[in-house]
Structure 1
Amino acid sequence: MSPNTTLEQQLPVLSEDVSSWKGASVLSVTQMTPGGLSLVFEIAHQMRVMVQTQGADTRCQGKLLATVFYEASTRTACSFQAAMMRLGGNFLHVDGEGGNSSAAKKGESLTDTVRCLECYTDVTVLRHYNQGSVGTVIEAATKPVINAGDGVGEHPTQALLDVFTIYDELKLPLSSNATENSKPLTIVLLGDLKHGRTVHSLAKLLAKSHTAGVTLRYCAPAGLELPEEIQEYVAQFDHVTQETMTDLREACQQANILYVTRVQRERFESDEAYQAVKGSYVVDAELMQQVPSDMIVLHPLPRIDEIDPAVDSDPRAAYFREMENGMYVRMALLALVLGKV
C-alpha cells in the first residue's frame, strides 16, 4: 500500500464529466476513470490539431503556472511550460533545492514554498525526490497541484501521454467509447521497474482503463523487479495478465508495445551496484529484426545506453513522437483543471 492510499481515496474522481476536473489536483492515475481518460485524449487530440493549424490560442490568457522541480527535468518541465504558453498563459519556474534562488536553501518547507507560490499563480506542477511529498502538499494546497513525479512513486502525466501514444500509434480510437472499440494489448515493460515511477503509473493506468484486456510482461535486471504493491494493484483487475520474463526476445514475441526505461543511476546507493546491472538489456537493430514488424518502441527518456541510436530511424521507434504528444496531453490537463476547455 502506498503512502498516499488514504489521500488518493479522498481526492476527486476524474471522470468524463468536465466539471470533475475543474480545480482538481492530480496525484495518481488511480483517480481517473476510463471515461476520464478518454476525455483527456479527446482534448489532447484537439490540442494537437490546434497547434498544428494555428500554433496557439488564448484560452488561458492571464493564467500563471508554477513549475516547481526538486529533481532534474527537461521534458516534463519544458512540456508543461510550453503547454501553458501555447494556451496563452505564462509560467514561473522554481529550481527547488538545486537552485540558488530557492528558499529551500534557507530551510523552508516544501508545503510553505508551494503555499506562497499559490499567492501568485493559478496551478502548480510539482516534482520532488521523496515519495509521498506531492500528496502532502496537495492536502495543504488551495489551488490545483499536478504530480510531476514523487520519488519512486508515480508520474501520472507521463502515463497519460504514454497511453495516448500507444493508442495513437496502434490506431485505436481516442473517443469516449474507446474502451468498447479497442482490442487486447500485450506490452513489455523493460528496465528498472523497481525505481521507474513512469512504469508504476503506466501499469496502473493500463490495468484500470484498458478493459479490452492487457498482458503486461515484466522484464527487469535482477533486483530491479516491479514492486509487489504495484503488482497487487494490477492483479485486482480480471482482464489483466501479468508475466515475468528474463529473455527480451522471448518477451517481445506477439507484443504490441516495448516500453523501455533506463536503469536509474541516481537511485542506487553505490556506483558498484549500478554498474552491476547497467547495460543488462539493450534494444538494437539486431533485436528489432527479431521482433514483430509492427511492435512500437516507447521510452519516457532520457536514455543512456538501453536503446542504440541506430534504432531511431526505425519507423517503429516512437519515443520522440511520444515526447511531442506530452505537450498536447499536458495542454489538455491544464485546460481541464483551470476550467478552460
Structure 2
Amino acid sequence: MSWRGRDVVSMRDFSRKDLEVLFEKAREMERYARSGLDVLRGKIMAVAFFEPSTRTRLSFETAMKRLGGNVIGFSSAEGTSVEKGETFSDTIRMLDAYADVIVVRHKLEGAAKLAAEIAQSPVINAGDGSFNHPTQAMLDLYTIWREKGKVDGLRIGVMGDLKYARTVNSLLEGLALFDVEVALISPEFLRPRQETLDYIQSRGLRYEFYSRLDEVLGELDVLYVVRIQKERFLDPLEYERVRGSYRLTAESLRGAKDGLIVLHPLPRVDELDPSVDGTRHAAYFRQAAYGVPLRMALLSLILT
C-alpha cells in the first residue's frame, strides 16, 4: 500500500514493509536534516496540539520547514476559538480547509481517528489519550534499526508504566511486526493493557513479565524506559517505593551488555538519572534527533 495520502492514526494500520520503506526514506533524509530541500514547497502543515508537547511538535515543524513547506496552527487551546466553545470537529474542518496535512495531539483517546474521519486531508496522530502515539513508535523503531543495524533477533526490555504510557502501547504494536523477544519490566498492576497483550500475542510477539530490571538486564540489547506516573497511585508511600525500583542510574547498568542502548521518549523526570548520560549506553538524545529525518520522511511520503 502506498504511503501517499494516508492517515497515520495507529501502528496497527501499518505493515512491516511500510516501516521498511519509511526507514530507508528517513536514512536518506538524514542528509538533509540540516541543509533542507524543497520537495514540499507550497504545501502547508497544520499543527493542532490541544495538549503540551516539545519534541513531537517541534520536530514536526522543523521537518516540514526543512522540506520547504509552511506551518500553521497552535500549541495549546488557549487563544483559539476552542476557548469560545468551538467543537473539536469544527476546528478540524477549518484546518482541513487551510492545510494539506493535519497533525493532531489531544488528551482524549480517539481524537485523531475522529479527525481522520472528518478531514479530507491526511491526519497524523501526534499522541492521543493513553493508547496511541504512532509516530513516536516509528521513531523508536527507526532508532533501534539505525543504532543496532537491525530489529530482528534482538532482546528488548521495556520498563516503567506499561499500562498508561501511550508510547509503550504503540511501540509494542510496532515490535509485533518483527522477530524479537520483549521483556516487560513493571509492577504487576502497571503491566500493559489486556487489549494490547491480546493484540501482540495474536501477532506472535514473544514476551515475558519481570518485576525487576536485574532479573533480565544482562540479556538485553535495548532498554526502553518510561516514567512511573505518580498520578496513578492512591498511596504516596507506595509510589515512592515503586518509583525507586524502576529508576535507572549508571550504577544500575553494571552487568549490561557492552552494546546495550538505552532509549527514552523524553521528557524524563527522575526515572532516568543524568549519570546515565555519560555512559556508552545512552542513546536517547540521538533518538530525539532522529525525530527530524524520520518525520521528514513521513511527510514527504504522505504528501508527494
TM-score range (shorter-chain normalised) is: over 0.9
Q: Aligned-pair distance for 1:269?
A: 7.4
Alignment of 1:170-189 (within 5 A): 170-172=148-150, 183-189=152-158
Q: Aligned-pair distance for 1:254?
A: 1.2
Cα distance between partner residues in 2 of 1:277 and 1:68: 35
Correspondence 1:33 to 2:15: yes
* SS of match in other structure, 2:71: strand
Correspondence for 2:97: 119
Identity across the alignment (%): 41
Cα distance between partner residues in 1 of 2:73 and 2:190: 33
Corresponding letter in the other structure for 1:68: A
* SS of match in other structure, 1:158: helix
Correspondence for 1:152: 130
Alignment of 1:140-289 (within 5 A): 140-172=118-150, 183-208=152-177, 210=178, 213-238=179-204, 240-265=205-230, 268=232, 272=236, 277-289=242-254
Match of 2:33 among 34, 45, 51: 51
Q: Is the CA contact 2:159–2:186 (under 8 Å) kept in the aligned structure 1?
A: yes
Correspondence for 1:91: 71
Cα distance between partner residues in 2 of 1:42 and 1:113: 35
User: Could you list the runs of 5+ residues in structure 1 that have no partner in the other structure?
Assistant: 1-14, 173-181
Correspondence 1:298 to 2:276: no
Q: Aligned-pair distance for 1:288?
A: 1.6
Correspondence for 1:137: 115
Q: Aligned-pair distance for 1:237?
A: 2.4
* SS of match in other structure, 2:269: coil
Cα distance between partner residues in 2 of 1:121 and 1:271: 47
Tell me how many residue pairs correspond in the alignment.
303
Q: Aligned-pair distance for 1:253?
A: 2.4
Cα distance between partner residues in 1 of 2:258 and 2:90: 52
Q: Is the CA contact 1:125–1:148 (under 8 Å) kept in the aligned structure 2?
A: yes
Q: Aligned-pair distance for 1:264?
A: 3.1
In the superposition, the TM-score normalised over structure 1's length comes to 0.85
Correspondence for 1:106: 84
Correspondence for 1:175: none
Deviations 1:258-285 (Å, cap 9, x if unpaired)?
00001234x5376847556434311111
* SS of match in other structure, 1:243: strand
Deviations 1:37-72 (Å, cap 9, x if unpaired)?
0100011001002235xx111111111111111111
Deviations 1:221-269 (Å, cap 9, x if unpaired)?
342111111111000123x21100011111222111000001234x537
Q: Select between 216-225 and 136-145 the one with higher mean Cα deviation.
A: 216-225
Corresponding letter in the other structure for 2:109: Q
User: CA 1:271–1:90 in 2, change beyond 3 Å: closer, same or farther?
Assistant: farther
User: CA 1:170–1:278 in 2, change beyond 3 Å: closer, same or farther?
Assistant: same
Q: Aligned-pair distance for 1:27?
A: 0.5
Cα distance between partner residues in 2 of 1:89 and 1:321: 25
Q: Is the CA contact 1:96–1:104 (under 8 Å) kept in the aligned structure 2?
A: no
**Runs of 4+ with >2 A deviation:** 267-280
Correspondence 1:80 to 2:60: yes
Q: Is the CA contact 1:249–1:291 (under 8 Å) kept in the aligned structure 2?
A: no
Correspondence 1:326 to 2:295: no
* SS of match in other structure, 1:278: helix
User: CA 1:216–1:324 in 2, change beyond 3 Å: closer, same or farther?
Assistant: same
Corresponding letter in the other structure for 1:313: G
Q: Aligned-pair distance for 1:95?
A: 2.9
